[in-house]
Structure 1
């Protein structure tokens, strides 16, 4: 027992006792660390807010010009990232924020020559103008016209007026000229048999194949139209028998293809979107495509209102069942083949939705799944602004 007591005494004498102020020092260190973290977070947050609100030029003294190609269907987020990566603007987030704050919904595709000395406001104004059709800021030479994939007749008419001696009005008139159309129908019966008597805005909408045309020798606007219809007939010639076998008309195929053209980008997505439309037609459900409403309203605005989707037009496929009167634009062969060979019809998809930030398209079978997915995407996109 005595030995144990001695040992306890020795240990007691040699043990380290905390000084009176040791605990308080630790507390102050912890408080200091927390304060530093708060300052860092405030700095990061402040920097983020600054970036989103900095609409000034990247370099007001720059003499450099940079050509940007804005792809068709690119949204403000994608364009902003492209501009930042190319060195035109400081922050992609500022571009996106400016577009959102100012309700800009008419940014165009094409080639644009921009500069780091431009403010975001100036850049947006440039992008609201039609982009050049070819690189290096040059449009096509006079006498050549380009019908772009997904472009409609009214849009293309401006190219005709710009590149030829014919006015947009005179060229558009050829698309409904009954005497001229009857001659074309006799020349291309397989192609135009279902188009001539359809109650469409323009009888030849959708039958003007997207391509570049040399029309320098054209003496009348009809000769331009004939060249374009002949190209469509050439492209579709191998598929006329298949269209008949599927018990669909060329008009129906081109109408669905024109919707697919604007609703999807990749061949796989186009095939699945085509399957969704065909499933909805079989189930007697309206196609509910924004593309149809925009055509009905003659608008290119990005976001449609509830009132827009209720417009009383045969082209409004929110309101009316079936294919609609006819094509909404000039579809590519890729979209036409997607309708002829749809994908995943056996999965019974009836809905699709695209993430506007990533471009990914999601497919669902029920309205409940669709609404839940839509809510989830909205939340995700709002949290990543």
Structure 2
């Protein structure tokens, strides 16, 4: 009958196609099932502590489900010559990594690096706080080392701290790096940046220490780069005439904490950094200056200005005489600056 398919025969070419497709479909199905039911891999940060034994590392990896056999992992490390090459720090691992790859990663010190930007104008303490927050650097050790006399001497820095020499820029720092290593890299960056300017500093009869101190004050006083050489000229003009610098930023530094407004009572603080009380430069930098401020300290503008007052918009009014300066201050007050 016409509705029966019992005697239907497929062409030989079609049979060949089915024979080819069936194994492919079966293989694909098997792969799909394996991937679908396989436990998902988990990525995580893993911290190898300083001085931690390989056995301790292996035990923690087993607890996290990364390896199955602690002793086998330790034996493998000896075979590969990695037993004593494991470097401390933070690593990015996942539960699907093979033991060989883990050992290679730990042995080569392929630690997690984080991008940390240090802005211009920060003190040692402020810098340490950012490093602690973003790169897990121990801030208390960092601050302590910045005042370590042997480390300061090693860098060839004058004074009793590394204030002013932690160059502000963007760094890629291994998570949990040793504070001493971070300090070294920041100071090396400073000297790399400033070294080409040394001949000009010397030819102007200044020391590098003086330039860094002056640049740090410029950094805190000037918001606009175009005004930095002018503020530098005011500092040099006052120094040349034997006038006190009377820079508010040095009072802020002497107080040890930021004040929204420097009051008359603050000007009485007894500190060698208070330039309302001392003549000449303070004993050290008050922050880490950026390159624009360092350049302004080296190449100040040539002006007859001895005074300036902030307008409240980031810029300043510069004056040659005290009378002009007082008029400028009254004008700023009237405008609510």
Contact 2:116 2:170 in 1 (8 A): yes
For residue 255 of structure 1, what is the aligned residue in structure 2?
213
| 2:136–2:175 Cα contact (<8 Å) kept | no
How many residues get paired?
Answer: 226
Q: Structure 1 residues 360, 180: CA separation in 2 closer, same or farther (over 3 Å shift)?
A: closer
SS at match of 2:206: coil
Q: Matched residue of 2:317: which SS?
A: strand
Residue 119 of structure 2, aligned match among 148, 161, 172: 148
Following superposition, the deviation at residue 262 of structure 1 comes to 1.7
1:268·1:343 contact (CA, 8 Å) conserved in 2?
Answer: no
- C-alpha distance after superposition, 1:234-274 (max 9, x if no partner): 10011011111111111110111111112113333111100
The normalised TM-score by structure 2 is 0.64
Aligned to 1:184: 155
* Aligned equivalent of 1:221, options 164, 169, 179: 179
Q: CA deviation at 1:371?
A: 0.9
Q: State which of 227, 251, 254 in structure 2 corresponds to 1:269.
A: 227
Structure 2: 5+ residue runs without aligned partners?
A: 1-111
Please say if residues 113 and 172 of structure 2, whose CA atoms lie closer than 8 Å, have aligned partners that are also in contact: no
Partner of 1:363: 318
1:1-385, aligned counterparts within 5 Å? 143-185=114-156, 192=157, 195=158, 198=159, 200=160, 203-216=161-174, 219-345=177-303, 348-356=304-312, 358-381=313-336
Q: Deviation at 1:314?
A: 0.5
Cα distance in structure 2, aligned partners of 1:162 and 1:265: 26
Deviation at 1:350, TM superposition (A): 0.5
Residues of 2 paired with 1:321 and 1:213: CA distance? 37
Q: CA deviation at 1:217?
A: 7.1
Alpha-carbon contact 1:258-1:330 (below 8 Å) kept: yes
Q: Aligned with 2:336: secondary structure?
A: helix
Offset of residue 344 of structure 1: 2.9
Whether the aligned pair in 1 keeps the contact of 2:136 and 2:176 (CA below 8 Å) is no
What SS is found at the alignment partner of 2:171? strand
C-alpha distance in 1 between matches for 2:318 and 2:238? 13
Specify every segment of 5 or more residues in structure 1 that has no aligned partner in the other structure, as ranges. Answer: 1-140, 186-191
1:303 and 1:332 map into 2 onto residues whose CA distance is: 24
Partner residue in 1 for 2:69: none
| SS of structure 1 residue aligned to 2:335 | helix
* Post-superposition CA distance 1:96-138 (Å, at most 9, x none): xxxxxxxxxxxxxxxxxxxxxxxxxxxxxxxxxxxxxxxxxxx
1:350–1:364 CA contact under 8 A, matched in 2: yes
The more displaced of 172-181 and 235-244 is 172-181
How far does residue 219 in structure 1 lie from its aligned partner after superposition?
Answer: 4.6
Instruction: Rate the CA distance shift 1:163–1:217 in 2: closer, same or farther, 3 A.
Output: closer
Asked which structure has the greater CA Rg, the reply is 2
Helix, strand or coil for the counterpart of 2:144?
A: helix
Q: Quick one: distance in 2 between partners of 1:217 and 1:355?
A: 42
CA drift of 1:142 comes to: 6.5
The answer to whether the 8 A contact 2:223-2:315 is kept is no
**Contact preservation (8 Å) 1:160, 1:171:** no
Match in the other structure for 1:43: none
> Hey, what's the Cα distance between the residues in 1 that align with 2:153 and 2:220?
30
